[in-house]
Amino acid sequence: MPKFLKNGKVVIILQGRYAGKKAVIVKNVDEGTKERPYGHAIVAGIERYPLKVTKSMDKKKVASRSHVKPFIKVVNYAHLMPTRYSLELEEIKAAVSAETFAEPSQRAAAKKAVRNSLQQRYTAGKNKWFFTKLRF
Amino acid sequence: MAPTKKSNSSESINSRLALVMKSGKSSLGYKSTLKSLRSGKSKLVIISGNTPPLRKSEIEYYAMLAKTNVHHFNGNNIDLGTACGKYFRVGTLSITDAGDSDILKTEA
């Protein structure tokens, strides 16, 4: 009966502005902290999915439609729906940590790093499910 | 309407549940079973017969991720509450510690 909310797990955000968006757990805090006395996780997700591209589009159009806008957030476990998918995340883990959320400039820097690594993943064609919008 | 099927196995699931309530640990209710599934403490999840299918499949998915067994109780939430010895309805329950009961061996 293992725990399954671990680093690298893909989850779907259920509540808040990012409801319905897919995210990956970067760090999980099972017991909670003083400021957050509940189980929560730091996630990095996609705020704006890349648009669909077809063969008939030229390179410039494909490039502009393939942008990924990320978000980072600290979310309560109760507001996540875990999935069976996972994402390996070495670079993202280095960029995002608990102190990142203290200052807006740190957040922006972390988001930039996340965007770069997610963009590379998408153009490389890996983790296709993660980059498709959840239809509901 | 015929009375609820009291075949051999459903008799004993009730008695096993009673033993778990007495000697083991369990958490009753949807929120607490999800919590126990997330933390990995749940050993068996029991879902009543009349839980809405969306909630039922959600719990089954969580249990699949946690590699925890699920038992679909033959009866509605009122019956499950009575089987637990409570005066309220129980739609979902999670057994975290079986105590003296052998419910985990027979339902696994």
- Hey, are the CB atoms on B39 and A4 less than 8 Å from each other? no
In a domain, residue A68? The reply is: yes
- When divided into structural domains, chain A yields a total of 1
The CATH number of the domain where A32 resides is what? 2.30.30.770
Q: Please give the residue range of the domain that contains residue A72.
A: 9-128
In a domain, residue A79? The reply is: yes
| Chain A residues close to B65, C-beta within 8 Å | 4, 82, 84
Look up the ipTM and state it.
Answer: 0.88
- Hey, are the CB atoms on A39 and B62 less than 8 Å from each other? no
- Which backbone phi and psi does B29 adopt, to 5 degrees? 110, 150
Please name the member of A39, A77, A84 whose beta carbon is closest to the beta carbon of B65.
A84
User: Quick one: which H or E segment has residue B83?
Assistant: helix B77-83
In a domain, residue A1? The reply is: no
A80-86 and B44-47: which strand pairing?
A: unpaired
| Chain A residues close to B62, C-beta within 8 Å | 82
| Residue where the block lists tokens 């009866």 | B75
In a domain, residue A2? The reply is: no
In a domain, residue A4? The reply is: no
Contacts of residue A77, defined as CB under 8 A and 6 or more positions apart, other chains included, come to A5, A38, A39, A40, A41, B38
pLDDT score of B98: 86
Q: Report the predicted TM-score, pTM, of the whole model to 2 decimal places.
A: 0.88
Kindly tell me the burial class for residue B30, based on how many C-beta atoms sit within 10 Å of its own C-beta (0-12, 13-18, 19 or more).
middle
Task: State how far the Cα of B63 lies from the Cα of B36, in Å rounded to an integer.
Answer: 10
In a domain, residue A76? The reply is: yes
In a domain, residue A136? The reply is: no
Give, for all 136 residues of chain A, the pLDDT tens digit: 678 999 999 999 999 999 999 999 999 998 889 999 999 999 999 999 999 999 899 999 999 999 999 999 999 999 999 999 998 888 888 888 888 888 889 999 999 999 999 999 998 888 899 999 999 9
In a domain, residue A32? The reply is: yes
